[in-house]
Amino acid sequence: MKDSCNRTIKHIRFSVTSDCMYNCIFCDKEGFIPQTTLLSVEEITKVCDLLATILNVTKIKLTGGEPLCRKEIVQIVKNIHDLHLYKDISMTTNGYLLASKAKQLYEVGLNRVNVSLCSLKPSVYKYITGSNSLNKVFKGLKIAQDVGLDPIKLNFVVLKGINDSEVEDMINFCSKTGNILQLIELHKRAEAIGSELEIYDRYHLDVQPIIKDFEKKAVKTLVRGEMQNRKVFTFPNKAVIETINNNHESCKGCTKLRVGCDGNLFGCLFRSDLGKNIKKALNNHHSISQYEEIIKEVVYARKPYYT
């Protein structure tokens, strides 16, 4: 299914909870504040079934808050896997509980993880996240790799004056571990959850100069046209770095549909207000064509935030 800008939906980003044990200074809360109760495990499974059937998507990423805070997370992953509709089931996590959950998640069908890693320095990590748990995250990364989750990507949000001096250290870390580095430019929080311009103004760093430097150093450069036109660099030390910055090209290449933990379907991190909640409809047992109309309405409402 294509939106009004001729962008085909290829990926689902599904929040399963708004709970998190961290308090990161840059948190975007996945672009929304829940308005109703959480979707049940059965409702999550049904939505995943509907989206795969109607949109013909085969990729889904589970998020939060922190998805591992959801006590039924292993069952949720198993149910999605057992639909036999998704070829790629992934998760974004802060890694705090990964050591205890990685093996179970892999065994029920999770393919890969993105782990938020904002610093390699314990003091900086604690300042950004509010949690003195960097060693737990390192342990979780090792166990996730050992059980077979692959690839493991590290989400590194660059913050001016805090961790921007660690870019080279992160690249070297990924060279040694085989993890993929996702270098992410800080963005403004969505209007739907309230603006935090003070945080943005204080810590935002234009990553274009860093990307230009990567272009000079890389032995290979690709553009992920199916994923927001992200540039992917391979360095001489075998490190692989994806760059995520916010601009028109990113919007033009966006292929995501988002689902909030309360059932809100929306097409843009910054515009959850253009979404539609599907929770009530799930309990009315609509026909597939009625669900298709709900999803189509949301998809057609997608508009590029950066123009």
Are the C-beta atoms of residues 261 and 180 closer than 8 Å to each other?
A: no
| Residue-level pLDDT at 89 | 98
Q: In terms of residues, how long is the chain? A: 307
> Does residue 193 register a pLDDT over 80?
no
CA distance 166 to 176: 15
| Residue-level pLDDT at 225 | 66
Instruction: Indicate whether 2 belongs to any domain.
Output: no
Instruction: Indicate whether 225 belongs to any domain.
Output: yes
Instruction: Indicate whether 307 belongs to any domain.
Output: no
pLDDT tens by residue, 93-119: 999 999 999 999 999 999 999 999 999
Q: From residue 171, give the alpha-carbon distance in Å to each of 5, 29, 129, 166, 168.
A: 36, 27, 21, 9, 5
CA distance 256 to 269: 9
- Residue 248 phi, psi (nearest 5): -60, -40
Q: Which residues contact 85 (CB under 8 A, 6 or more apart)?
A: 48, 49, 52, 53, 58
pLDDT tens by residue, 250-280: 788 789 999 999 999 999 888 888 899 999 8
pLDDT tens by residue, 1-15: 998 889 899 999 999
**DSSP secondary structure, 227-255, as one string:** TTTEEEEE-TTS-EEEEE--SHHHHHT--
Instruction: Indicate whether 104 belongs to any domain.
Output: yes
Domain count, the chain: 1
Q: What pLDDT band is residue 307 in, cutting at 50, 70 and 90?
A: low
The conformational region for residue 178 under phi > 0 = left, psi -120 to 50 = alpha, else beta, is: left
Instruction: Indicate whether 305 belongs to any domain.
Output: no
Tokens at 41, concatenated: 């495990």
Instruction: Indicate whether 168 belongs to any domain.
Output: yes
Instruction: Indicate whether 250 belongs to any domain.
Output: yes
User: What is the arithmetic mean of pLDDT over 216-224?
Assistant: 94
Instruction: Indicate whether 218 belongs to any domain.
Output: yes
- Residue 208 phi, psi (nearest 5): -60, -45
Domain at 17, CATH number: 3.20.20.70
Q: In terms of residue numbers, what domain contains 162?
A: 11-300
pLDDT tens by residue, 12-25: 999 999 999 999 99
CA distance 222 to 101: 33
Q: What pLDDT band is residue 227 in, cutting at 50, 70 and 90?
A: low
Are the C-beta atoms of residues 289 and 210 closer than 8 Å to each other?
A: no
